[in-house]
Amino acid sequence: MIETVRKHIIEVQAFSSTNKEEIENFRIKYLGKKGLLNDFFAEFKNVPNEQKKEFGQVINTLKNAAQEKVDSLKEAIESSTETKGVYGDLSRPGEVIPLGSRHPISIVKNKIIDIFLRIGFNVSEGPEIEDDWHNFTALNLPEYHPARDMQDTFFIQTNPDVLLRTHTSSVQVRYMENNKPPIRTISPGRVYRNEAISARSHCFFHQVEGLYVDKGVSFADLKQTLQYFTTEMFGKSKIRLRPSYFPFTEPSAEVDVYWGLETEADYRITKGTGWLEIGGCGMVDPNVLKNCGIDPEEYSGFAFGVGIDRIAMLLHQIPDIRMFSENDIRFLEQFKSVL
């Protein structure tokens, strides 16, 4: 009987296969409930006492050899299958990796930032959840000021002093509180207004606001800065400044750029006038400087703001502002070739 078991050990060690069915039949033959090992263990009681120890050792050797053989063959098959699944046929040409694309808002924002970086402005950012002081009061909009109604606001219900910022002027306030003049910074970011959503307006949109504070800053400096921006951004250098009102600047103005009337689209977007409003500007109100710890007797400054979404709609002829936030892949793929 011992010699029979040893012959099976040699047979087990010699067995090899890459077929799952053959390996499973081999396992059942030796390790199954009705396999040879169970038969050998059942014969153990009939073995003479002086041979029981040796017989037990060779049975265990057969059992271990069979189990190790089954495990190694299965592992070899799984490794081969995994390698094939990962790499496949290495002689085949590689699959084309689809190119991503920048969002049109990011494209326009980066272009605006690049324009102002060339003339010495840096970039400053701040929180989108603001307090009343930085969003309103420090900007010459004390509590109950009627100009607050110009900006429909999302307030945090549990704390009426906390709100979603309505403009990035709050970033300028924080920057002036922590930096001494000369200050030359732009503040791009997302802002929120409690407005009805339509093709031309949304409850959130994107702005870039600029600030320059130094000794002797004049309205002429503001005009030249804006003229440089419109020339670089649109390729159009003719602008006009119309008197307006903003509580944090005095005097204040709306900025129009002459778009022209060369195409039907020009007539449509300018309403037949050739002029297109792109933002607001003005000289920083002395009260704002004082609230931020800057002496208005020694320093003056100008501020301006433009809407990124509006400019993106103009440059790329996008008819609906809601398309920016719908994440329609068909819309976004159109900007793959745009830097």
Packed helices 36-43 and 20-31: angle between N→C axes, nearest 10 degrees: 10
C-beta atoms surrounding 202 within 10 Å = 19
Class of residue 91 by CB neighbours under 10 A (exposed 0-12, middle 13-18, buried 19+): exposed
Non-local CB neighbours of 171 within 8 Å, separated by 6+ positions = 124, 125, 126, 187, 189, 209
177 token code pair: 């509180």
Q: Are 223 and 253 in contact (CB under 8 A)?
A: no
Rounded-to-integer distance, Cα 141 and Cα 159, Å? 19
Task: Answer for the pair 247, 285: CB distance below 8 angstroms, yes or no.
Answer: yes
Note whether 128 and 190 are within 8 A (CB): yes
Ligand-binding site membership of 11 (annotated): no
Annotated binding site: 250
Q: Residues forming the annotated binding site for Mg(2+)?
A: 250
